[in-house]
Amino acid sequence: MKKYRRHVIAILILGICYAGYSYYPSLQIVTGFASKSMTSGMYIAGRSQESIENGDNGFFPIRLAKSKVVEDEKSISSALFGLEKRKSIFIEGRGAILVNEGFDSTKQFRVPNRRINSINKPFPYGNLEPKDTLFEEVDYVQLQKAVDNAFDPPEENRKKTRSVLVVYKDRILAEKYADGFDKTTPILGWSMTKSMVSTMYGILEKKGKIDIYEPAKIDAWVKDDRKHITYNDLLHMNSGLEWEESYTGISDATKMLYLESDMGRVQLEKPLVGKPNETWNYSSGTTNLLGGPLLRQEFSSHQAYLDFWYRELLDKIGMHSALIETDLQGNYVASSYGWANTRDWAKFGLLYLHEGNWDGEQILDSSWVKYVATPTNSSEGRYGAQFWLNAGGFYPDVPRDLYSCNGYQGQYIFIIPSTGLTIVRMGLTEDPKFNVNEFLKDIIASIN
């Protein structure tokens, strides 16, 4: 009997060890997400721990993690059943950063220099409130109904929309926020940040500092077939490099975001599994390669790299609420961690609606705007250069010239040149819980 018990105990111990080994990365990802999300939400958006636990962290298995806030150091530690504690620290100007065991809390971090000027013009070109303008062609009752329908009625929690903003001819036609959010609340754009990366390359190209059709400058690729991958291939997610993008479990994307301290190197180390310009595959690793090491080498110092994003884009167009978080190595997490309030996200869309012109200054060449909105090979009309497209009719009741910045859980900036509309929707759900085609169709129908 004793021998039998020993065998049972041994089998149980082996089972526990196997489970721990198998689920170790998953536990780290769960607690890493919980900690990072909580720290960003509290110290960037100014929201309460309770609202984040019920909202951003309110889905399985993230909601199982327990978080502890240390106000003095602006840090939050999260653990799952007391296991795999992960810690994030908020650094002013750099956002929330997941730290590791070797993290030096005395280390001084470089932060971007900001140029925040008050401009006495109405939205979108200044800091004043938008002008009240009535357009004869707009059915405001129908428009408001379409906007209201994007939000949940009191007894439901399905669509989980946080904000909607409709801009037409540089005027705000409609604006609505869920409880706990308003026009000043920064909201995480997730992969909408990818479109900013494309914009940085567009600015470099306009300045004559880069040729996107040249091979990417990566020494590790010189001795194999990866040497043929161009910046254009990377911008189009059409490099042929191996990558798994999934947020329902352990994947290249989740391991990168919650286990790596240098996120830009992950895609760099992947092998070629397809042909460049013939194998479209959505990859956050590609964007972090573009926005991290590849973009960084275009500047003489890390400070110049940090400043470039704000000086040449975000502060220049008045996106003063915007913040792009960095990884532990100090590179922007260009795939996923851009924040801004809803009006500032709309400004980014308006820059593209106006073909790169911002209040008289040509920040991007109009040819770059056309470039990002042109479908790449093998994407079936769904993707351009870090922008999503409707060229293939994915939204059947919406103009084909629509292109957009899309983010995880239903963050969107829709740019529709044929209608003159820029539409922002921020939330926590995507199709089918939030019907994008119906939402856009109803708004467009309100303008005759």
3-state secondary structure of 322: coil
Domain that holds residue 318: 177-445
Q: Considering the entire predicted model, what is its pTM?
A: 0.94
Same domain, 94 and 196: no
* For residue 385, pLDDT beyond 60: yes
Q: What is the pLDDT of residue 3?
A: 53
Closest listed residue to residue 320, CA positions, set 173, 125, 169: 125
**165 domain residue, yes or no:** no
Q: What is the pLDDT of residue 10?
A: 38
Q: What is the pLDDT of residue 57?
A: 98
Q: 193-206 and 302-309 are packed helices; what angle lies between their axes, rounded to 10 degrees? A: 110
Q: What percent of the chain has pLDDT over 70?
A: 94
Predicted confidence (pLDDT) per residue in 275-317, tens digit: 999 999 999 999 999 999 999 999 999 999 999 999 999 999 9
**158 domain residue, yes or no:** no
CA dist., res. 74 & res. 192, Å (int): 26
Q: Which of 18-22, 36-40, 333-337 is predicted with the least confidence, judged by mean pLDDT?
A: 18-22
Of 58, 84, 99, the residue that ends a domain is 99
Q: What is the pLDDT of residue 448?
A: 82
**73 domain residue, yes or no:** yes
**58 domain residue, yes or no:** yes
Q: What percent of the chain has pLDDT over 90?
A: 89
Q: What is the pLDDT of residue 12?
A: 35
CA dist., res. 381 & res. 89, Å (int): 41
Q: Which of 9-13, 303-307, 340-344, 398-402 is predicted with the least confidence, judged by mean pLDDT?
A: 9-13
CA dist., res. 419 & res. 265, Å (int): 41
CA dist., res. 170 & res. 448, Å (int): 17
Non-local (6+) Cβ contacts of 296 within 8 A are 264, 302, 305, 331
- pLDDT bin (cut points 50, 70, 90) of residue 205 is very high
| N-term to C-term CA, the chain | 84
Same domain, 418 and 270: yes
Q: What is the pLDDT of residue 340?
A: 98
Q: What is the pLDDT of residue 19?
A: 36
Same domain, 344 and 440: yes
Closest listed residue to residue 282, CA positions, set 385, 206, 400, 429: 385
Q: What is the pLDDT of residue 15?
A: 35
Non-local (6+) Cβ contacts of 165 within 8 A are 172, 174, 175, 342, 343, 345, 346, 423, 424
User: What's the number of domains the chain is made of?
Assistant: 2
Same domain, 267 and 405: yes
**433 domain residue, yes or no:** yes
Q: What is the overall mean pLDDT for the chain?
A: 94
Cβ atoms within 10 Å of 342's Cβ, excluding its own: 25
Domain of 435, CATH number, reads 3.40.710.10
* For residue 4, pLDDT beyond 70: no
Predicted confidence (pLDDT) per residue in 136-169, tens digit: 999 999 999 999 999 999 999 999 999 999 999 9
Q: What is the pLDDT of residue 339?
A: 99
**369 domain residue, yes or no:** yes
- pLDDT bin (cut points 50, 70, 90) of residue 106 is confident
- pLDDT bin (cut points 50, 70, 90) of residue 22 is very low
Q: What is the pLDDT of residue 417?
A: 98
Of 68, 99, 130, the residue that ends a domain is 99
Same domain, 181 and 95: no
Q: For the CA atoms of 186, 50, 104, 310, what is the dihedral angle to 10 degrees?
A: 0
Structure-model confidence comparison of residues 159 and 100, the more confident one: 159
* For residue 78, pLDDT beyond 70: yes
* For residue 261, pLDDT beyond 90: yes
Same domain, 76 and 201: no
Of 99, 119, 140, the residue that ends a domain is 99
Average pLDDT value for residue range 44-51: 98
Q: What is the pLDDT of residue 53?
A: 98
* For residue 129, pLDDT beyond 60: yes
**376 domain residue, yes or no:** yes
Average pLDDT value for residue range 376-388: 97
CA dist., res. 232 & res. 81, Å (int): 46
* For residue 97, pLDDT beyond 80: yes
**294 domain residue, yes or no:** yes
